[in-house]
Structure formats: structure tokens, C-alpha cells
Structure 1
């Protein structure tokens, strides 16, 4: 799974194991630069919006809060 070219169609083909591997990378936070971590975080967030059932066990990694942007 490459995070650079992940599209909506690709997100539709992710398996629970793919998301678990992504979550492990985020939990370990062993990246060579902060931008790699940010890419994984954004990918997990995109998955949460499109396939929430896959991300439910890992929502704590997103630290989502309700914002009043009105």
C-alpha cells in the first residue's frame, strides 16, 4: 500500500489488515521524517470518512474533535 497515490477507489479496496498495518506504523511513530507520518495520518482520516468500519478500532489515533466552524 503506497500512501502517495491512494485514491478513493483505492480506499474502497483496502482490507482490515491494510488498515491495521497503517495503524501500527502510526502507533510506532518510527518515521524518517514528519511528512511520512502526516501522510499516514491523512490516509487514516480519509479512510475514516469513507469506510468508518475499518477505522473504528483506531479512531484514537485521529484525535478527532467536533469543531464549530460556523
Structure 2
């Protein structure tokens, strides 16, 4: 299994295909360690914040919820 290292990737260089492969890995959840899965999750999260148009179809993988801190 190849895991994309977020510190080595520039989020602006990601394509729709790259994000689709990342989402597929997360959906399959076939990682050697929990940390590898967490790294992909953080990468998808970074992409979602910086390039939201690429992650619209995969937001369910991030489980993002609005919090009311009042």
C-alpha cells in the first residue's frame, strides 16, 4: 500500500484523480497501521480546507460537523 505523505505534497498540485485515489484508500480502510490511515485523513482534510471543490464528493469521509461553542 502506498501512502501519500502530506508533508511531501503540495495541496495545490492535487488533481481530481489524486483525491479520488485518496478517498478510495480511506473507504477501503486497508492500512498497515492506524497512523497511515490518519495521515491520509489529515491530507484529505487539508485538501478540503484549501481546495474544497476537489473534496465535495468525499466530505462524508471527514465527518466534519459545525460546533456551537456558545
TM-score by length of 1: 0.87
Counterpart Cα distance in 2 of 1:54 and 1:39: 18
In structure 2, runs of 5+ residues without a counterpart are: none
TM-score by length of 2: 0.87
Matches within 5 A, 1:1-70: 2-7=4-9, 10-69=10-69
* CA displacement 1:1-43 (0-9 Å, x = unmatched): 7324245xx1001000000000000000000010000000000
Which runs of 4 or more aligned residues in structure 1 lie more than 2 Å from their structure 2 counterparts after TM superposition?
4-7
What's the RMSD between the two structures over aligned residues? 1.6
How many residues are aligned here? 68
DSSP 3-state at the match of 2:7: coil
Counterpart Cα distance in 2 of 1:69 and 1:14: 33
